[in-house]
């Protein structure tokens, strides 16, 4: 395999010299939800790297064969043992440097029940003023929480993007 521009393409890809197979490496989709119960937000403390010990919203990689909404529901269950209903799309965050696209939804917990899943050290329902802002795992978590707060103030949901999103123009 060597890097070269395959016929009909516009960028270098890994191409097999023998059979011409093109190994496309595309961004991975991460799905999650800012979920609430009685005005408290569900957070989990990561038990795995990267950012072990830091707080996040339940989120993870989308699986083949599931919708983005189903993936967010599954990830919430896996990481917090909480059952949720998806309300709406809250944000789309492009993390280009690591090849990830985050789709974060607003969710409502079906009960107050939660517990850490296998990838979490702890789970907690926290008031806005008690969010551990200095111990959040990723910038995308901060963006999603801030956009969640904005959605409550504005009364309407308009999916947000990462700060300073660059949009492709022809």
Question: How confident is the model over 63-103, as pLDDT tens digits?
Answer: 999 999 999 999 999 999 999 999 999 999 999 999 999 99
Fold for the domain defined by 28-157: Nucleoside Triphosphate Pyrophosphohydrolase (3.90.79)
- pLDDT per residue over 2-37, tens digit each? 999 999 999 999 999 999 999 998 999 999 999 999
Pairing verdict, β 59-61 and 84-95: unpaired
pTM (2 decimals)?
0.86
- Mean pLDDT estimate for the chain: 93
Length of the chain: 170
CA 46 vs CA 22, 34, 49, 64, 105: distances in Å: 36, 16, 8, 24, 20
Domain boundaries, the chain: 28-157
């Amino acid at each position: 395999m060597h890097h070269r521009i395959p016929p009909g393409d516009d960028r270098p890809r890994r191409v097999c010299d023998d059979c011409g197979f093109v190994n496309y490496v595309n961004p991975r989709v991460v799905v999650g939800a800012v979920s609430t119960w009685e005005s408290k937000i569900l957070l989990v403390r990561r038990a795995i790297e990267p950012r072990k010990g830091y707080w996040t919203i339940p989120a993870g990689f989308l699986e083949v064969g599931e919708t983005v909404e189903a993936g967010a529901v599954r990830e919430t269950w896996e990481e917090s043992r909480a059952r949720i209903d998806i309300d709406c799309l809250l944000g789309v965050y492009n993390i280009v440097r690591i090849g990830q696209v985050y789709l974060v939804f607003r969710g409502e917990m079906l009960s107050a029940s939660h517990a850490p899943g296998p990838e979490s050290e702890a789970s907690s329902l926290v008031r806005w003023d008690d969010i551990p802002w200095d111990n959040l795992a990723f910038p995308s978590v901060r963006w999603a929480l801030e956009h969640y707060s904005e959605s409550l103030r504005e009364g309407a949901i308009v999916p947000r993007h990462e700060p300073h999103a660059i949009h492709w123009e022809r």
